[in-house]
Structure 1
Amino acid sequence: MNVFWLSFCFLSVVCILLYYSSGKGVQSQDDREFFLFQQTYLCVYLLAVGADWLQGPYVYVLYESYGMTSYQINLLFGVGFGSSMLSGTFIGIFADQYGRRLNCVVFAFLYIGSCITKHFPHFSILLVGRVLGGMATSILFSAFESWAVCEHNKRGFTELQLGLIFSKATFFNSVISIAAGYVAQVVADIYGYVAPFDVSIIFLVVLIVCILKLWNENYGDSNSNSTVSFATAGKVILNDKKVFLLGIIQSLFESAMYVFVLKWTPLLTPKTLIDNSAIPHGIIFSSFMLSVMIGSFLFTYLTNKFRIENFMRFVLFIASFSMLTPVLIPQIKVCVLLSFFGFEICVGIFWPSFATMRGHFVPEKVRSTIMNIFRIPLNLIVLLVLLQDFSTETTFFLCTFSLLSACIAQHVLYKLTNHHHHPEPHNECV
């Protein structure tokens, strides 16, 4: 049994132990209303991310099977990031003005359209699919969270309960990703590379039904026009240092995370730890997701002991050190692999931490707009790195610098909020 399988087994055991040891401590004891709300959100959210994860493993190989060149494939991926970047702002305004639930339904229709285009081996049609997929991604990472925070605040639940929702969302997101990868492989082996996208369409249709049946509508500022909403969001970002810092940290961290997703394979592929055979990408991916799950458990433990603004400084420092390992000792594959697991654990802590902080610091009336503005520099950074021909070591050095800068910004945020209690959550949603 090689190191990849050993790592997977070890991380699986750790996850199981953490799950059973923390199960009693994280569950809301006697608040049935909160439990039902949590289930309502997770049911819809996990269908959405499940549809997303089903598509991931076979996008590249499908394009290759259609005879696309590496340049065309890079261009398709670049268009996806560019579409997400350019569409994010007006999609966020749409969500705040016309409703987050409606925006999530639009997400499903956009992604269905993107999946349908995968049946056509024509570059121009696939390009349209990438545009639709980029727009859908902007909604996935903003409107669902915005709906949850608004409803959470309206119902008067606590900060710890908000963190619990996002911790469980992170945990089950990882579970779904592993299951979706397996399902995608099975249906692709039987029916071809386009089959996972058809299964994703089924998920998305079920998602639409569940949203319409389970969710009520909520808004940010439904009486404002697009220009005013964008101007208001811009003023909040420029005038509120905490919101500005949140956006900077998110963009720096998540851009490094996306670059890592694109670049981890070359560092492990040239030579495995045992021989020169192909590395088990599926096992490594599953190990990464197990690491994220471990991070979600650690988040629950840390929030019971420390303030998020405090412990995230150390999480970001560890993340930056993890990205430095491939730069300093790229030839020692064991250390590189362990550092990647460490980074993914940090990802598992980061997601619920920043979702919780956004829930407190970002004003409700322009929440989706601000969250999508945050994603503009994120997508721009990834797009620039994707278009440059940096060496792997240079790329990971840039990731290290980005994460270290995020760590410094997090320390400034901690200083701003130190000795002060969290403000009351913004609750202007309707």
Structure 2
Amino acid sequence: MELFYYMMFGGLAAVVAALELSKSNKDRINTSSAFNSFKNNYLLVYSLMMAGDWLQGPYVYYLYSTYGFGKGEIGQLFIAGFGSSMLFGTIVGSLADKQGRKRACVTYCITYILSCITKHSPQYRVLMVGRILGGIATSLLFSAFESWLVAEHFKRGFDQQWLSLTFSKAIFLGNGLVAIISGLFGNLLVDSLNLGPVSPFDAAAVFLAIGMAIILSSWSENYGDPSENKDLLTQFKGAAVAIASDEKIALLGAIQSLFEGSMYTFVFLWTPALSPNDEEIPHGFIFATFMLASMLGSSIAARLLARNTVKVESYMQIVFVISSASLLLPILTNFLVTPSKVKGGGISFSGCLQVLGFCVFEACVGIFWPSIMKMRSQYIPEEARSTIMNFFRIPLNIFVCIVLYNVNAFPITVMFGMCSIFLFVASILQRRLLVIGEKPKTEEWTMLKEKNAEDESLDVA
């Protein structure tokens, strides 16, 4: 492995460690031993579930390419995954509430294990079935586990404040540490032990099976409130009314779709961007480096969110502009650096520059997640939160599917340019959100009360 990768990984690791060690410990929460046992059990299961997901990420595109599929065919496989997630993501929440959250979590494990098994086949149809199963599993991962945790937390009578502690540790472990370890472990299996690009999927299936065994043996079942189980049409009508009547919610949804759409497109593009001539690159190690950059962004976001003088809407404008500029690097290097036409070999100089830019983008992703959660908590009404969030994912998945469907029609530089434009538009919308978000809420409440009074008077008449 080239020295460049070690320098990038080591430098980011040092910065992240310095930021984490310099944080104050004054915000610790005193909890009970029963809660600690419950929390640790959930964190163990969640970490295993995320390991099963993260192990696959860096090698999906690479595996398909080793089977001889081109960029267009691989794009169609990715479309199947996002399309499946879009279709099933709108209903898995209500199904989990009715059939049981524990059962839904077990279904996630079984579905994802089956998806991993399909990776052993080079047949396009089998791989397509695997992508559909993976899309269903992804929908369950981001709905069933959280639903089970929240319901079980309150069923056991734990303090509401302790729930945030579980969430924060789950994000740190599952989306940070586990992602990095998974990337390094996948790199060990594929490059060091030469077990082939399908080996990370086999390892993922093992971790998922272990997690499923823990769920079956230690989790109790819980269900949603039947009185809140509205049909999908009613839920979407309510979400549409809320979005149409509040510009802040509409802006937030557009910002989220633009950023996440660019992010998911980047997930597809970074592998061919760094190896245009089939250069030998350590996919798992690069992925782990990206995750370190994302952790760096999360650490920066934690410090920004802790300051009452800094508004989320304000600094996110800068984040979107920086992320937009970072995805312009593949375009700039294509014009400024003479592209190599030699097949194979190590990463090129332009590839090294792109890795730096991609790390900056991943740092922006790390800032984005906690910041968008903060803004969602401010602007999206609690009674319609999950419905509106699912509503936002429909244009997001449609956008990604359209991009991937046309990926073979445009050069990679054009795709990166499009993502850069979308991110810049997100910064403009963020500016608008900042302006209208500063309006006093008392004015909104006054207008709402006046409208309700008018409706009541009409009813009386």
**TMscore range, shorter length:** 0.7 to 0.9
Q: Hey, what does 2:224 align to over in structure 1?
A: 219
Candidates 413, 417, 430, aligned match of 1:410: 430
Residues 181 and 288 of structure 2 are in contact (CA less than 8 Å); yes or no, is this contact kept in structure 1?
Answer: no
CA distance in 2, matches of 1:239, 1:62: 46
Q: Hey, what does 1:134 align to over in structure 2?
A: 135
Superposed CA deviations along residues 143-183 of structure 1, whole A, max 9, x for unmatched, are 44555677789966459x84993476156423212221233
Comparing 219-228 and 82-91, the one that deviates more: 219-228
Is 1:394 the counterpart of 2:414? The answer is: yes
Q: Hey, what does 2:86 align to over in structure 1?
A: 85
Structure 1 letter corresponding to 2:318: F
Q: Secondary structure at the residue paired with 2:30?
A: coil
Q: Hey, what does 2:391 align to over in structure 1?
A: 373
Deviation at 1:294, TM superposition (A): 0.5
Q: Hey, what does 2:74 align to over in structure 1?
A: 73
Residues 88 and 138 of structure 1 are in contact (CA less than 8 Å); yes or no, is this contact kept in structure 2?
Answer: yes
CA distance in 1, matches of 2:374, 2:148: 13
TM-score by length of 2: 0.77
Candidates 313, 318, 322, aligned match of 1:314: 318
Candidates 254, 258, 266, aligned match of 2:264: 258
Structure 2 letter corresponding to 1:259: T
Residues 317 and 403 of structure 1 are in contact (CA less than 8 Å); yes or no, is this contact kept in structure 2?
Answer: yes
Across the two proteins, how many residue pairs are aligned to each other?
417
CA distance in 2, matches of 1:264, 1:158: 39
Is 1:244 the counterpart of 2:246? The answer is: no
Residues 92 and 143 of structure 2 are in contact (CA less than 8 Å); yes or no, is this contact kept in structure 1?
Answer: no
Deviation at 1:247, TM superposition (A): 2.0
Q: Hey, what does 2:28 align to over in structure 1?
A: 28
CA distance in 1, matches of 2:248, 2:207: 37
Is 1:382 the counterpart of 2:384? The answer is: no
Residues 96 and 365 of structure 1 are in contact (CA less than 8 Å); yes or no, is this contact kept in structure 2?
Answer: no
Structure 1 unaligned regions, length at least 5: 424-430
Residues 83 and 397 of structure 2 are in contact (CA less than 8 Å); yes or no, is this contact kept in structure 1?
Answer: yes
CA distance in 1, matches of 2:423, 2:331: 14
Comparing 242-251 and 38-47, the one that deviates more: 38-47
Comparing 331-340 and 9-18, the one that deviates more: 331-340
Deviation at 1:315, TM superposition (A): 1.8
CA distance in 1, matches of 2:212, 2:378: 29
Q: Hey, what does 2:449 align to over in structure 1?
A: none
Deviation at 1:256, TM superposition (A): 0.6
Deviation at 1:295, TM superposition (A): 0.9
Deviation at 1:225, TM superposition (A): 2.9
CA distance in 2, matches of 1:96, 1:310: 38
Q: Hey, what does 2:20 align to over in structure 1?
A: 19
Q: Hey, what does 2:456 align to over in structure 1?
A: none
CA distance in 2, matches of 1:62, 1:328: 29
Q: Hey, what does 1:426 align to over in structure 2?
A: none
Deviation at 1:136, TM superposition (A): 1.5
CA distance in 2, matches of 1:336, 1:323: 9
Superposed CA deviations along residues 264-321 of structure 1, whole A, max 9, x for unmatched, are 34444359xxxx9644444332221110011111111111113433332322222122
Q: Hey, what does 1:197 align to over in structure 2?
A: 201
Residues 187 and 284 of structure 2 are in contact (CA less than 8 Å); yes or no, is this contact kept in structure 1?
Answer: no
Deviation at 1:42, TM superposition (A): 3.5
Q: Hey, what does 2:43 align to over in structure 1?
A: 42
Does the C-alpha gap of structure 1 residues 247 and 104 become closer, same or farther in structure 2, counting only changes over 3 Å? farther
Does the C-alpha gap of structure 1 residues 249 and 136 become closer, same or farther in structure 2, counting only changes over 3 Å? same
Does the C-alpha gap of structure 1 residues 224 and 204 become closer, same or farther in structure 2, counting only changes over 3 Å? same
Q: Which has the larger radius of gyration?
A: 2
Residues 171 and 296 of structure 1 are in contact (CA less than 8 Å); yes or no, is this contact kept in structure 2?
Answer: no
Q: Which of structures 1 and 2 has the larger relative contact order (alpha carbons within 8 angstroms, sep 6+)?
A: 1
CA distance in 2, matches of 1:96, 1:199: 30
Q: Hey, what does 1:60 align to over in structure 2?
A: 61
Residues 98 and 223 of structure 2 are in contact (CA less than 8 Å); yes or no, is this contact kept in structure 1?
Answer: no
Q: Secondary structure at the residue paired with 2:90?
A: helix
Structure 1 letter corresponding to 2:416: F
Structure 1 letter corresponding to 2:300: L
Structure 2 letter corresponding to 1:28: R
Superposed CA deviations along residues 202-222 of structure 1, whole A, max 9, x for unmatched, are 322333344453576363764
Structure 1 letter corresponding to 2:222: E
